[in-house]
Amino acid sequence: MTQYAIETYRLRKVYRSLLRRQSVVAVDSLDLKVPTGCVFGFLGPNGAGKTTTIMMLLGNVYPTSGSFRILGHSISDMGVRRRIGFLPEKFQFHELLTAEELLWFHGRLAGMDRQLLTRRVPEVLEQVGLSERARSRVREFSKGMQQRLGIAQAILHDPDLIILDEPTSALDPLGRRDVRDLILQLKSRGKTVFLNSHLLSEVEMVCDEVAILRAGQVQRQGDIEMLLQVHPVVDVELRAPSERVMQAVRTVARVLSENGTRFTAEVQGEEEIPALARCIVEAGGEMMRFAPRRESLEDLFVRVVEEAK
């Protein structure tokens, strides 16, 4: 087994519009390393280049320059394509097929035989919670049910690498929890899951590593625990709002938000937390609450994206 399920080297994609005579750099010098067996979150604001990257990794979009390897192989290797499962961002299914028929159709296309499909189709429908609707037509499905079916299609052939472009965007909270459990179950079986999502609290719960992309370039990449430990934040509540306290706080920390008697401040490191408490007391602030916590993925995302502007 290779150490990395996905490795990219200075991967770049420039879309050229001949009509408008302009070009868009969608992905720029992308160096990604996705360890085998990990759940990897590929994050970034709208238009950052996530879907373009995924399309290149699948061999659907040709890179302008750079290179990449998937499960240690080139994507032109047919054997490796069979080991990848993919849920597209905008999936469009044959509406007249039933859920079961649709999975059979995709399974046959992926080269699975009848015996295997007879076992796998009910198994994956069960995994995504659609057993009861196996014989319903896709056009009768809600958006969330279609998304579940999309995930079933992505894992049907038991791939080693599962690429999910926005797997939970249409799901209700229970559906999201089911998909989270499913992802963790895939990971426990040694699979690599590469997912792109704007639902950062979901990503924080399920991913081991993340990369944050902006304007086609990686701004941060690494182990999620390490990335979030760098800048702790403290939620503070005062008895009464005080400009004097806030001025003092700004000398030792960065105020992220302020609302009446409450504020949230970010310090440079854990060792700065006592200094923040001291400075509030010295400025005459009466604290009702002082709660240090680690930065959330959303805090980090906002900071990284704004920093890069």
Ligand X SMILES: Nc1ncnc2c1ncn2[C@@H]1O[C@H](COP(=O)(O)OP(=O)(O)OP(=O)(O)O)[C@@H](O)[C@H]1O
Sites of contact with ligand X (CB under 6 A)? 15, 24, 26, 44, 46-52
Min separation Cβ 199 and ligand X, Å: 12
The Cα 91–Cα 74 span in angstroms is 25
Select the binding partner of residue 46 from ligand X, Mg ion, none (C-beta < 5 to 8 A, by kind). ligand X
- Alpha-carbon distance of 192 to 141, in angstroms, equals 29
- The residue (of 44 and 107) whose beta carbon lies closer to ligand X is 44
Q: What does the block give as tokens for 206?
A: 């399920």
Closest to Mg ion by CB, 48 or 267: 48
Q: Rounded to whole angstroms, what are the CA distances from 223 to 34, 38, 39, 82, 146? A: 11, 10, 10, 28, 32
Residues 6+ apart with CB under 8 A from 236: 262, 263, 264, 265, 280, 287, 289, 290, 291
Residue 53 interacts with Mg ion (CB under 5 A): yes or no: no
CB of 14 to ligand X, least distance (A): 9
Subset of 54-113 contacting Mg ion (CB under 5 A) = 89
> In the structure encoding, which two tokens stand for residue 57, read together?
């990794």
| Residue number, 48 or 305, with CB nearest to ligand X | 48
| Amino acid residing at 191 | K
| Per rule CB under 5 A, count of chain residues that contact Mg ion | 3
Nearer to ligand X, 28 or 272 (CB): 28
The count of other CB atoms within 10 Å of the CB of residue 136 is 14
- Decide which of Mg ion, ligand X, none touches 148; Cβ closer than 5 to 8 Å per partner kind: none
Q: Which is nearer to ligand X, 13 or 187 (CB)?
A: 13
DSSP type of residue 159: -
CA distance 169 to 92: 15
CB of 274 to ligand X, least distance (A): 40
CA distance 291 to 294: 10
Q: Which of 6, 44, 51, 151 binds Mg ion (CB under 5 A)?
A: 51
What's the min distance (Å) between Cβ of 92 and Mg ion? 15
- Start-to-end C-alpha separation, the chain: 40
**Which string of DSSP letters, residue by residue, matches 6-64?**
EEEEEEEEEEEETTTTEEEEEEEEE--EEETT-EEEEE-STTSSHHHHHHHHTTSS--S
Residue 44 interface partner, choices Mg ion, ligand X, none, CB cut-off 5-8 Å depending on type: ligand X
Whole-number Å distance between alpha carbons of 137 and 145: 11
Binding partner of residue 48 among Mg ion, ligand X, none, CB under 5 to 8 Å per kind? ligand X
Q: Between 51 and 264, whose beta carbon lies closer to Mg ion?
A: 51
User: Is the CB of 44 or the CB of 232 nearer to ligand X?
Assistant: 44
Q: Which does 291 bind (CB under 5 to 8 A by kind): Mg ion, ligand X, none?
A: none
22 binds, among ligand X, Mg ion, none (CB under 5 to 8 A by kind): none
Q: Nearest approach, Cβ of 142 to ligand X (angstroms)?
A: 22
- Least Cβ distance, residue 70 to ligand X (angstroms): 18
Q: Which is nearer to ligand X, 48 or 156 (CB)?
A: 48
* Cα torsion through 60, 61, 62, 64, rounded to 10: -160
Binding site for Mg ion (CB under 5 A): 50-51, 89
